[in-house]
Amino acid sequence: MRQAELQCWLVDDSPTVRQVLLHLLHEQAPTWQLHEFASGADLLRQLSNSRAPELILIDLNMAGMDGVELLRHLAARSCKSQLVICSGAPVRVLQSVGELCRALQLKLLGTILKPVTMQAVTDLVRLVEQPQRAEPHRPVTAPLQVHEVLRALQQHQFYPVYQPIIDLRNNSLRGFEVLSRCIHPSRGLVPPDAFIGSLEKYGLIQLHTFDNLEMALRDLQGWLEQGLDLELSVNLSPQLLDDLTLPEQLCQLLDSYQIPYTRLHLEVTESSCAGTVATRLDILNRLVLRGFHLSIDDFGTSFSSLERLQELPFDTVKLDKGYIQRALTDEACRASVESTLMMARRLDMRIVAEGIETLAGWNMIHNAGCDMCQGYYVAAPMQAAQVLSWCQQWQQHYH
C-alpha cells in the first residue's frame, strides 16, 4: 500500500481529544488522510458511503453509541480495517475488549492509553508503516503420523537444541532451555509443533521426554566438567504430570549423571495447571521438595493471574513471546507486563521474558525490571556442538 493513500479515521466524542490526536497524527504521518467523527453513528454513515479506511481509532467511552457497540456494528459489516482502541479505561477493560475483538474477528492493531502521548502516536505510526518483522522462516509442517514418530524414536531422529537464558542484572548466562527437534528422512528438519502433539496423542511423550532429557544431561555433564556453571530448563507435557512416579524417575536419571536436582528447571504450561487436580499437585510438590525448580511456561496466553498461580509451588514465570511482542506496540499490554513484573517481585518469583527479538524488546524488559530473557536477539536455539564456543563468545563480548 502506498502510504500516501492511507486513510485513518478517528472517532471520539471529545473535541479536545480529537484535536490533540489529529495534531499528533498529522505531525507524525503527514501523508495520511485523516477524518474525524464525533460519534459511532456518524462513522457508520460514512462507512456506508465510501470504502473502508485502512485504520480506525476508536474511543471506548462515548455518549450514545459506545465503542463496544461500535465494534459490534463493524463486525456485522465484516470490517477489515485495522483498529486501535484509544481509551482511558483500566487496563483490564482494554484487555477484555481485545478479547472481544478477537472473538468478533476484528483486526485489533493495538491500544493507546489516554491521555494520549506523542510516544504512543509515534509507536502507532511506526507499527502501521512498517509491517511486523517476519518471523524467521518456519515451514508449516503437517503433524507426524504414528509410524513416523515410532520410527523417529527407534532411529534416534529426535535431538535436543539449546537456547540461552540470560540474567538481565549482569548479562550473565544462566543456562539453556532444551527444545526438541526431529530430523526426518524425507521431510528434513521438523519443528516441535509437528511432533509434540503426535507424541502425546500416541502415548509416546514420556518416552521421548526421557530420551531427550538423557541426551541433554549427558551434554550438561560435559559442560559442567569444562567449568561452565549452567542450569537447564526442560518442557514437560501435562501428561507427564499424571504419573505419580515422575519425581522418582527424574531423580534416578539425574543421579545416574551425578547432576544436582537444583540444576533442572521443569517448565509446565499455564493451561496444564488450570484447576489442578490432586495428582498433579502431589507431583509438583514432591518435585520441589527434592530441589527441582518449577516454571510456568507461556504465561500471558490465557487468563490466569499470578495471584492464582502463587497457590502452586512455582518459582519462575515465563512470559510468552506473543505477550512480549504485543507489549512492544500495545500500551495496555505493556502496562499488563509491568504489573505482572511488579506482582512477581512481591511474590518472590523470577520472571523470564521469551521471544526477545530486537534491541527494543531487550530495552523494554530491562527497563521494566525483568530478571531474565531468552530470544533470537541473544541467540536462536543451537545444537550441542555449538554451545561451548557460543558461551565463550558471549562471555568475551557481553559479560
Name the segment binding ligand C2E (CB under 6 A); options: 65-73, 106-114, 282-290, 352-360. Answer: 352-360
DSSP for 225-262 reads HTT---EEEEEE-GGGGG-TTHHHHHHHHHHHTT--GG
In Å, how far are 54, 69, 114, 289, 326 from 35, measured between CA atoms?
12, 20, 20, 62, 27
Question: Applying CB under 6 A, does 340 fall inside the site for ligand C2E?
Answer: no
Beta strands (DSSP E) in 19-69 are 33-37, 55-59
Among 123, 267, 270, 338, binds Mg ion (CB under 5 A): 267
Distance CA 211, CA 234 (A): 12
Between 123 and 297, CB nearer to Mg ion: 297
Q: Report 227-246 residues binding Mg ion (CB under 5 A).
A: 235
Contact map string, positions 42 to 81, toward ligand C2E, x by CB under 6 A? ----------------------------------------
Question: Applying CB under 6 A, does 270 fall inside the site for ligand C2E?
Answer: no
Among 321, 326, 334, 350, binds ligand C2E (CB under 6 A): 321
The cell for 240 is 507427564
Name the segment binding ligand C2E (CB under 6 A); options: 48-56, 102-110, 192-200, 244-252. Answer: 192-200
CA 15 to chain centre: 37
Among 111, 163, 272, 336, binds ligand C2E (CB under 6 A): 163
Whether 204 contacts 152, CB under 8 Å? no
In Å, how far are 98, 216, 338 from 233, measured between CA atoms?
32, 10, 24
Between 192 and 313, CB nearer to ligand C2E: 192
Whole-number minimum distance, CB 295 to Mg ion, in Å?
A: 8
Return phi, psi of residue 133, to 5°.
Answer: -55, 130
Q: Report 287-306 residues binding Mg ion (CB under 5 A).
A: 297-298
Distance CA 230, CA 109 (A): 39
Question: Applying CB under 6 A, does 180 fall inside the site for ligand C2E?
Answer: yes
Sites of contact with Mg ion (CB under 5 A): 235, 267, 297-298, 354
Sites of contact with ligand C2E (CB under 6 A): 135, 163, 179-180, 191-193, 196, 209, 212, 235, 237, 267, 297-298, 321, 354-357, 374-376, 381
